[in-house]
Amino acid sequence: MPDRVRVTQGFDSAWLYIQLRFVSTSSNDRIDVITSIEVDVAPSDEEQSATFEWDEQGTWTFNHEARSLSWQWVADPGPLVVSPANPQQPTGLYMAGDGWFWDAGSYAVTVTAQTSVSDKTLTQTGTLELSDDDLERLNSAQGSIFLTIGLTS
């Protein structure tokens, strides 16, 4: 899991930008393929969790004059080939289902990736915290502001 994510309130649902890291520690040249990635976000207050689906891959561009980030689309979601010589670090936009939005509080973020070659399910969880001030900022500029939030394991 990365040490930070970016969040925003989309127009129809919450959005999560996360740069995952897939590394093979194998001592041979065997490859594996990540076939799908899903992110589950569960509020600590036991309200309903949300499944965030991988919508696109992209990259962040920093504008020094405006001191702001902008998201640039790179590709649609797709399989990721991982080998000892070819680690993958895709930055992806994951979107919650319609009507699920961020609220202030603590969230468990669980990433589940399916592999094809070794037929494994890779799972890891981290926690993010949104304050009342964070929520106010997100709601005041819906879809046009991204907050960088620490993710703890």
Q: Where are the domains of the chain?
A: 4-150
Which residues are CB-neighbours of 60 under 8 A, at least 6 positions away?
6, 17, 69, 70, 71, 72, 91
Q: Which CATH architecture has domain 4-150?
A: Sandwich (2.60)
Largest CA distance in the chain: 51
Q: Are 146 and 69 in contact (CB under 8 A)?
A: yes
pLDDT of residue 11: 87
Which residues of the chain fall below pLDDT 50? none
Compute the distance between CA of residue 41 and CA of residue 8 in angstroms, rounded to an integer.
14
pLDDT of residue 138: 93
pTM, two decimal places? 0.89
pLDDT of residue 102: 94
